[in-house]
Amino acid sequence: MGAPRGGGRRQPSLSQLRAFAAVAEHLHFRDAAAAIGTSQPALSGAVSALEEILGVTLLERTTRRVLLSAAGERLAVRARAVLDGVGALLDEADALRAPFTGALRLGVIPTVAPYLLPTVLRLARDRYPDLDLEVYEEQTANLLDGLTGGRLDLLLLAVPVGVPGVAELPLFDEDFVLVTPLGHSLGGREGIPRTALRELNLLLLDEGHCLRDQALDICREAGRDDVPVTTTAAGLATLVQLVAGGLGVTLLPRTAVKVETSRSSRLLTGRFAAPAPARRVALAMRTGSARATEYTELAAALREALRPLPVRVCEDGAA
């Protein structure tokens, strides 16, 4: 058998690779040093040592700027891959040490958080007492950025999200209901046809809320392409108060109806004819996450815990 590849040669250290990767990213010694929490002399020394070990010049240094050499351009990619691999190894070791322990950073959209979090938090407290659950309420785009960038571990949101590298664990489907002011012709009715949406003054959430996009999709399915937007709201509580004030009607997911309509006596709700417009809510995780088994178990536990709510639970996570 031949000697192992690179046998007898000095090996770069992780600190040297980390220093070089930081310089390659920032192209500035001061910024790179600050990014990894070291001094400029230590950073420069680490990169110089790496150049000596590899036998190539990685950087072109001038008095005003830092540039990557041709070799540096190629090896920066390799260095980042090594560091990412080490990070993945450490993440997997953390996950294997003990399931449902340590921090779990959960992102939740605003149109889900107030209505599902009581169930989620109660489940976490009772079933997973050693889990340190951190909750972040943000709009969908920010949550997905946080998940793919590693800032968040798991999301609770409406799907599909259609983002590569993100896997979905379906929890339930829920219908939308029509919320109207008192005296409205559709208030309190059952079996409302979707086509009724063509003529209604529909109030929407602000740009960026997935519920706004879902409402617009429902209107398009009903044959209405133009929805004039004259008034919007930052949250469902305000949206419902606008309806109570007679400015129009809106769509609410059923999990939100009890909480939001209890704020005013000047509201009525109507049910659509089957199949009613609906949304699906799921957990979302990074594909290949080291904690995938945990998250799958958590999704199964959540499905059972959510059964008392006015939703259709996805049996065994089926799509």
Q: What is the pLDDT of residues 135-153, one digit of tens each?
A: 999 999 999 999 999 999 9
- Looking at per-residue pLDDT, the higher value among 210 and 153 belongs to 153
Q: How many domains does the chain have?
A: 2
**What would the mean pLDDT of 48-63 be, rounded to a whole number?**
90
Q: Checking DSSP bridges between strand 232-233 and strand 131-137, what pairing results, if any? A: unpaired
How many Cα atoms within 13 Å fall on the side-chain side of residue 63? 0
Tokens of 305: 């815990």
208 and 288, same domain (yes or no): yes
Do 79 and 224 fall into the same domain? no
Query: pLDDT at position 2, please?
Result: 43
How far apart are the C-alpha atoms of 130 and 124, rounded to whole Å?
9
Cα angle: 187, vertex 192, 197; to 5 degrees:
85
Round the CA-based radius of gyration of the chain to a whole number and report it: 26
Q: Which two tokens stand for residue 104?
A: 């779990």
With 0-12 / 13-18 / 19 or more C-beta atoms within 10 angstroms meaning exposed / middle / buried, residue 9 is exposed
CATH number assigned to the domain comprising residue 280: 3.40.190.290
Same domain, 126 and 247: yes
Q: Cα(224)–Cα(218) distance, rounded to whole angstroms?
A: 9
In a domain, 179, yes or no: yes
Burial (CB count within 10 angstroms: exposed 0-12, middle 13-18, buried 19+), residue 53: middle
Residue that finishes a domain, picked among 53, 81, 96: 96
Instruction: Using pLDDT thresholds of 50, 70 and 90, give the confidence band for residue 318.
Output: low
pLDDT-derived band at 92, boundaries 50, 70, 90: confident
My answer on whether 59 and 121 are in the same domain is no
> Do 202 and 290 fall within a single domain?
yes
Q: What is the pLDDT of residues 242-294, one digit of tens each?
A: 999 999 999 999 999 999 999 899 999 999 999 999 999 999 999 989 889 99
Tokens 């529909």 correspond to what residue?
202
> Domain containing 51: what range?
14-96
Whole-number pLDDT of residue 316: 67
Inform me whether the pLDDT recorded for 133 exceeds 90: yes
Q: Give me the pLDDT at residue 7, please.
A: 56
Give the pLDDT confidence score for residue 3 in this predicted structure.
44
The dihedral formed by the CA atoms of 33, 35, 38 and 40, expressed in degrees to the nearest 10: 10
The pLDDT tens digits for 74-83 are: 999 999 999 9
Considering Cα of 137, then 140, then 142, then 145, what sign does the dihedral take? Answer: positive
Which pLDDT belongs to residue 230? 72
The pLDDT of residue 58 = 94
